[in-house]
Chains A and B, each alone.
Chain A
Amino acid sequence: MMEHLLSVDDLGGRAGIESMLDLTDSFLEVTQRDIPKVPALRGKTVVSLFYEDSTRTRLSFETAAKRLSADTMTFSVSTSSVNKGESLLDTVQTIDAMGVDSIVVRHPAAGAPHRVASWTSARVINAGDGCHEHPTQALLDAFTLRRHRGPSLDGCRIAIVGDVRHSRVARSNVMAFHALGCELTLVGPPTLMPERLDGWPVAVTPDLDHVLPDVDVVYLLRIQRERIGQALFPSLREYAARWGLTVERAARCKPDTLVMHPGPMNRGIEIAGEVADSARSLVTEQVGNGVAVRMAVLWSLLGSGGPIV
């Protein structure tokens, strides 16, 4: 049984991921009701502990918790004692002492949720840690894609384009998509590819135009302006010209090729606005499915009551 969700690894491979996606189906139905709420986690308390601003992820988790009737608390770093120098350990021990059931952690340092998990009896969910992982993003992406290409994603060809090196989304998605049988190609400037790819079940190329005609999904990553200052690529203009999904490039894809992006998008840089808004784009749907996926995760950690034997 899953104790925490710190990494896609914790989901238990293909079977575990698929059962989580199946569970998400049940919750998607709940979110589409007139009263999109069930009493499943009445009396449970979920705390979001966010050391990075990410209103969309935090709201998605808190909405999920509320739709399960859990109580939610936000520990926002900007208004808290962390500003007075309180350590992560002390903060977690304070939250733990309040008797919460789950802590949703977003932190700029890789592995911070693992540390939190070692300090609390609450179930810890990784909502993004440094460049490490973002497992619920991978689940919602897989769920979204499965609704279009499912039930099986075996053989689905996905290009993940952009700053893979610094992307927690890419790390989680590579693992999840691979577990589900997808064929993955990483595309981007070599400076933004992982320094070493031992054990990564992927092909790598700098040439986006070469892979576009063959792929079923183009998954674009957000590009950060600060990488220019680190001498990783010369300019946003050059990036957009070589690795942006422009209207012209999108036109060279197969008619049914889908476009995904974890958001927030830099329109006109990694993705053209017209492409983001086109029929092949799943971007809005990804966001919508986030709540159902996080309901499934919260339920699995807090509600299912233990392994079914």
Chain B
Amino acid sequence: MSPQQAGESNARDSSGREVAGAVEDAGAGDAGAVLRTHVFDAVDLRRALTRIAHEIVERNHGADDVVLVGLYTRGVALARRLASAIASFEAVEPALGALDVAFYRDDIGLRPVAPLGPTEVPDVSGKVVVLVDDVLFTGRTARAALDALLELGRPRAVQLAVLVDRGHRELPLRADYVGKNLPTRSSEDVRVRLAEVDGDDGVDLWGVPEREDRDR
């Protein structure tokens, strides 16, 4: 009954993190999950974003027509960081948007789905939209984001930037910009921490021992 409240107090479960398949949760909320590896510390994370920022500008011959659209919750923060990174070496700061894909998800009714924030997207017609998210997993969130975006206008092109690509795609999608390719088990959980949302920066890999036994 209180999706937004719950979304805030249980950010790990309902902050738009992708889950494998539909009902089967990847273990984000599992009790007993243990921290396996620190994948990125704050410096690694900053370097990866700086590199992605440069790649975006390079690929699109500047940033004039680029609109960075973050997916709630951490994608919005990441898009903002990419925009200021680009502004630091380009003459322009790209336009920013925030997209909530809740109403476009394909697992509505199968598991708790809550809107995470207001969709605010500038005019995208004729622009290159870079969708920004923290983790690319099954691809279902990116699919929902494409549907949501295309109802708001007709961009010239849509690209996808993610901090971590952890594999296990369930749809024919790939990212254009990747901070780190991280092989994972489907039972594991990649958790991105951002200062704006979580208090500090980093990327961690979590696992559930029993689940891994079952996987083998």
CB nearest to A12 among chain B residues:
B1
A108 CA to B97 CA, complexed, in Å = 47
Q: Which of A22-30, A142-150, A182-190 contacts B (4 or more CB under 8 A)?
A: A22-30
Q: How far is the CB of B72 from chain A (nearest CB, A)?
A: 10
The answer to whether the Cβ of A231 comes within 8 Å of any Cβ in the partner chain is no
Count contacts on B: residues with CB < 8 A to the other chain: 32
The answer to whether the Cβ of B88 comes within 8 Å of any Cβ in the partner chain is no
Q: Are A40 and B14 in contact (CB under 8 A)?
A: no
- Among B108, B118, B120, B148, the residue within 8 A (CB) of A305 is B108
Q: Are B119 and A39 in contact (CB under 8 A)?
A: no
The answer to whether the Cβ of B197 comes within 8 Å of any Cβ in the partner chain is no
Q: How far is the CB of A74 from chain B (nearest CB, A)?
A: 24
Complex contacts, A1 vs chain B, CB 8 Å: 1
A20 CA to B114 CA, complexed, in Å = 11
Q: How far is the CB of B103 from chain A (nearest CB, A)?
A: 4
> Taking A33-B151, A39-B103 as contacts, is the C-beta distance between A26 and B115 under 8 angstroms?
yes
Chain A 1-21 interface mask (CB, 8 Å, partner B; 1/0): 110000000011001100110
- Among B2, B29, B110, B152, the residue within 8 A (CB) of A19 is B2
Q: Are B115 and A305 in contact (CB under 8 A)?
A: no
A2 CA to B29 CA, complexed, in Å = 23
- Among B1, B4, B7, B102, the residue within 8 A (CB) of A40 is B102
Q: How far is the CB of B2 from chain A (nearest CB, A)?
A: 4
Q: Are B151 and A306 in contact (CB under 8 A)?
A: no
CB nearest to B150 among chain A residues:
A35
Q: Are B7 and A308 in contact (CB under 8 A)?
A: yes
The answer to whether the Cβ of B90 comes within 8 Å of any Cβ in the partner chain is no
The answer to whether the Cβ of A167 comes within 8 Å of any Cβ in the partner chain is no
Q: Are B10 and A308 in contact (CB under 8 A)?
A: yes
Complex contacts, A302 vs chain B, CB 8 Å: 109
> Taking A15-B2, A29-B119 as contacts, is the C-beta distance between A40 and B108 under 8 angstroms?
yes
What are 19 A-B contacts defined by CB distance under 8 Å? Answer: A1-B1, A12-B1, A15-B2, A16-B1, A19-B4, A26-B115, A29-B118, A39-B104, A40-B103, A68-B103, A299-B103, A300-B3, A303-B109, A305-B107, A306-B112, A308-B10, A308-B114, A309-B10, A309-B112
Residues of B within 8 A of A (CB): 1-7, 10, 13-14, 29, 100, 102-104, 107-115, 117-120, 147-148, 151-152
Ranked nearest first, the 9 interchain pairs of A and B with the lowest CB-CB distance are A38-B103, A19-B2, A40-B103, A308-B6, A308-B112, A26-B115, A22-B4, A2-B1, A305-B109
